[in-house]
């Protein structure tokens, strides 16, 4: 299942058709608005998770980096937002989502807008550095004790998560409603299991040992 098979991705969840999860997704309506700026290198990756976010969270909008029209539209939406807007980024000095919520940075009557970046961590840092309109946004960080379950791609830091994990924890913490978004982490687990199973590997990416045929039975 390589990137040469991008044309075989589901148009909705953007996963390879053999691990498509659309039949198991029931979208939820979040308190916040969620905007995602995506690096072009992430488009068509069978291991990408941004499609799970867009399919699971109603109203999610995805904008493409370096597309002048789309970046301008993202900026327009940020500038015309009625509620507070935050960039979600793992800065050490940033307030956590929980702290921001507890200190009244938003409320049900003044819901927030969160801007996420879908890219490698090196790309995300560069994207932010080169866009003053991103640098000017107040930052909140998703902090959680759990380790990333996204074993399909290596995480640079124990506090870093895949896009779907970060979105699930972000929205759960912003509303203090973990049960509402737990299904997104279940979807990721199913995605990873199916992805590795197609390669003859277990959940952690280890080769699955095949039992030798019994005496008198034909081999594979």
Integer Cα distance of 218 and 124 in angstroms = 52
The reported pTM is: 0.82
Which residues contact residue 57 at a Cβ distance below 8 angstroms, ignoring those fewer than 6 apart? Answer: 27, 28, 30, 34, 167, 171, 184
Q: Is 157's pLDDT higher than 90?
A: no
In CATH, what number does 3-197 get? 3.40.1280
Confidence class for position 9, pLDDT limits 50, 70, 90 = confident
Q: 16 - beta bridge partners?
A: 9
Q: How far is CA 219 from the centre of its chain?
A: 42
CB contact at 8 A, 99 and 173 = no
Q: Is 199's pLDDT higher than 80?
A: no
Q: Is 73's pLDDT higher than 60?
A: yes
Lowest mean pLDDT among 17-26, 95-104, 105-114, 199-208: 199-208
pLDDT at 156: 44
Confidence class for position 162, pLDDT limits 50, 70, 90 = confident
Question: Which of 13, 157, 147, 43 is closest to 89 using CA atoms?
Answer: 157
């Amino acid at each position: 299942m390589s990137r040469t098979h991008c044309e075989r991705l589901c148009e909705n969840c953007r996963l390879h058709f053999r691990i498509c999860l659309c039949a198991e997704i029931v979208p939820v309506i979040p308190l916040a608005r969620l905007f995602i700026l995506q690096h072009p290198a992430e488009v068509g990756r069978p291991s990408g998770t941004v499609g799970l976010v867009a399919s699971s969270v109603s109203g999610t909008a995805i904008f493409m980096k370096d597309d002048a029209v789309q970046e301008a539209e993202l900026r327009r939406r940020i500038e015309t937002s009625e509620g507070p807007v935050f960039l979600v980024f793992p800065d050490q000095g940033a307030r956590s989502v929980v702290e921001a919520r507890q200190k009244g940075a938003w409320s049900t009557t003044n819901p927030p807008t969160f801007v996420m970046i879908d890219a490698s961590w090196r790309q995300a840092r560069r994207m932010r550095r080169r866009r003053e309109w991103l640098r000017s946004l107040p930052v909140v960080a998703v902090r959680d004790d759990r380790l990333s379950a996204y074993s399909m791609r290596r995480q640079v830091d124990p506090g870093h998560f895949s896009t779907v994990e970060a979105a699930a924890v972000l929205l759960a913490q912003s509303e203090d409603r973990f049960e509402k978004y737990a299904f997104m982490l279940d979807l990721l687990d199913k995605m990873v299991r199916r992805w590795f199973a197609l390669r003859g590997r277990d959940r952690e990416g280890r080769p699955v040992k095949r039992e030798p045929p019994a005496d008198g039975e034909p081999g594979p």
